[in-house]
Structure 1
Amino acid sequence: MSEQDQLRSARQAFGQRLRGLRLVAELNGRQLSARSGMRGSKISRIELGRQNPTEDDIRVWCHACGAEDQLPELIAAHRQIDEMWEEHRQAMRAGLKQQSERVKPLYERTRLIRAYEPQTVPGFLQTPGYTRAVIEDVSRFHDLTDDIDQAVEGRLNRLRILESGMCGFSFVIEAGALYAQRGSVAVMLEQFDYIDHAARFANVALGIIPLGRLRTIWPGEGFYVYDESLVRSEHWTGGYRTKRPSEIATYLRIFMLLQSQAVYGEAARAEVAAARRLLQSREIA
């Protein structure tokens, strides 16, 4: 399903939620029109997802249906829809360095960042060499022409925030991410050293889900939760963002389940050491 199809589906689902409020209030379209002052044709278009309601429309709708208690959640859901998917090419038009600068204030105002990564080292733990390898892959795939040095410098804001101690971090990483080589062997060995070092920071909790673990929750897309106010997740063709309380609550529940699958402390560092040994044995071979 394309991003446009998903946006269309989201708008239709939102229209159905408003229709549900009308039905619970035992109102037909004509009665809702009389109470709200909206034309019947507009009500129909909104419920079918063919017209995007304004926030004032939603307020009037909730008041007419006696559902004012649902207004905050509905407003949050409505605001999310148009920003739900952000195409990578659009996000990167200003350049990778500028993209990093744009999210810097978010990092600086957040007190706790929860991060799950299934296939790569989380950005906040990446060394410059590893970051460079990732950016080179992204630039090649998306045909970007950024200055790589500037882009790497922009991304290193994340590392500085981690080391500043101004924010707490809780990481859950699939062990498979440690075995996916990005850059040279030397780059990977340096990255393993840094993970082992950062795991000892007072503001860092590092969990690693071992290979072959009996799972109670399956691996999925990587995501980051900023306090309890925002979720960001990157996919092949777009970045997903949500500030919707119910969605954030779902991601927090997922994160807790993933945490329960992870090992910490010495056991986590042993997972890093195992990945290091395999890398070194391949190099010798």
Structure 2
Amino acid sequence: MSNQAQEAREALGARLRNFRKDAGFASGRAFAMAAGWAESKVSRIENGKQNASERDVRIWCSKTQRDDQVDDLIATIRHIDELWLEWRRQLEGGAEKRQQAAIPVYSKTKVFRIWHPTLVWGTLQTSEYAAETFKLVRDFYDIPDDIDAATAKRLERQQYLYQGDRIFNVLLAEQALYTNFGGPEVMKGQLDRILSVMRLPRLSLGIVPRSATMHIWPGNSFSMFDDKLVLVETYSAEFSVTQPREIELYLKSFALLQRSAVYGRAVRNLIFAAIQHHGRKSEV
């Protein structure tokens, strides 16, 4: 388990210990008797040695008269379970499986909030651009070469841009228009694709210019699915956020990033400038 997950487990245990004491259970033994548990179970949960189950939390809150905390604590448990999914573990059989796993999440989501400071969001990628990113993933993590299958699964997500009543709020930093995957021709094709999808009525595309005044530091890229899940990617792992109070922070950060973004004609002008840049590179 990662340090972050262990710290979260210990914090949960401390919360539950405080609930127990506030409810008048002076010892873990007294609470264990009331709950019908072994005393060692209470001790392990309170000291972060064992993660509480959702049923454990419901019983704990019932016995301590803190039923109003059940939803938040269950979200905490799920957060701990999913907290730190190492890329090596997720990608050990290749990249296609991870791309497949994203599709059910996309199918259930009504409102997307996406922030990518350095590259184009996967659902807006061309097949050539996506394949180039998967080449880097393959080489960096030394995983099986399933680039074609992974690319096909990533592109499958694009169906949701055209189906149902989903809302896509996408923010890119200007750097994403210049980060070079595959050379000038791949980049020009990708930028043309962005210009095309900008016309979709339920897609709001903003770009944060490199000279924009920032209201929060750019941070890592993240994808928010409704107000239920945030995925944050690092080099080593994918970090899942499900706790309501933490999701509120990402909602706030996204709103602050939007304040720095431009839209519409200004976005098209930035893209045209980037196309010209890559065009000059192809002439060299």
TM over 0.5: yes
Deviations 1:181-200 (A, max 9, x none): 11110000011111111111
Residue number in structure 1 paired with 2:197? 198
1:24 Cα deviation (Å)?
Answer: 3.6
Name structure 1 gaps, 5 residues minimum: none
Over the matched positions of the two proteins, sequence identity in percent amounts to 37
- Residues of 1 paired with 2:69 and 2:24: CA distance? 17
Normalising by structure 1, we get a TM-score of 0.91
Contact 1:169 1:203 in 2 (8 A): yes
- 1:193-248 Cα offsets, whole Å, 9 max, x none, are 11111111101100111102121101011111112222112111111123332222
Stretches (4+) displaced over 3 A: 23-27, 30-42, 163-166, 281-285
Correspondence 1:181-220 to 2 at 5 A: 181-220=180-219
Matches within 5 A, 1:87-236: 87-164=86-163, 167-236=166-235
SS in 1 for 2:268: helix
Measured in 1, the distance between the counterparts of 2:164 and 2:280 equals 36
Alpha-carbon shift at residue 39 of structure 1 (Å): 4.5
Q: 1:66 to 1:181 in 2, by over 3 A?
A: same
Equivalent pair of 1:96/1:154 in contact (CA under 8 Å): no
Aligned to 1:18: 16
Deviation at 1:69, TM superposition (A): 0.7
Establish whether residue 64 from structure 1 lines up as the match of residue 54 from structure 2: no
> What is the TM-score normalised by the length of structure 2?
0.92
RMSD: 2.0
**CA deviation after TM superposition for structure 1 residue 98, in Å:** 2.8
2:128 and 2:53 map into 1 onto residues whose CA distance is 47
The 8 Å contact of residues 76 and 244 in structure 1, kept in 2 or not, is answered as: yes
Name the CA distance, whole Å, in 2 between partners of 1:166 and 1:128: 25
The answer on whether the counterparts of 1:108 and 1:161 sit within 8 Å (CA) in structure 2 is yes
Q: Which residue of 1 aligns with 2:274?
A: 275
Distance of aligned partners of 1:65 and 1:105 in 2 relative to their CA distance in 1, 3 Å threshold: same
Unaligned runs of 5+ in 2: none
Q: Which amino acid aligns with 2:236?
A: T
> CA–CA distance in 2 between the matches of 1:228 and 1:148?
32
1:9 is displaced (CA, Å) by 1.0
Partner SS, residue 144 of structure 1:
coil
Task: Describe the superposition over 1:96-121 as per-residue Cα deviations: whole angstroms up to 9, x where unpaired.
Answer: 22322232122122222111101110
How much does 1:164 deviate? 4.1
Query: Which residue pairs with 2:3 in the alignment?
Result: 5
Quote how far apart the aligned CAs of 1:86 are.
1.1
Change (3 A) 1:165 1:124: farther
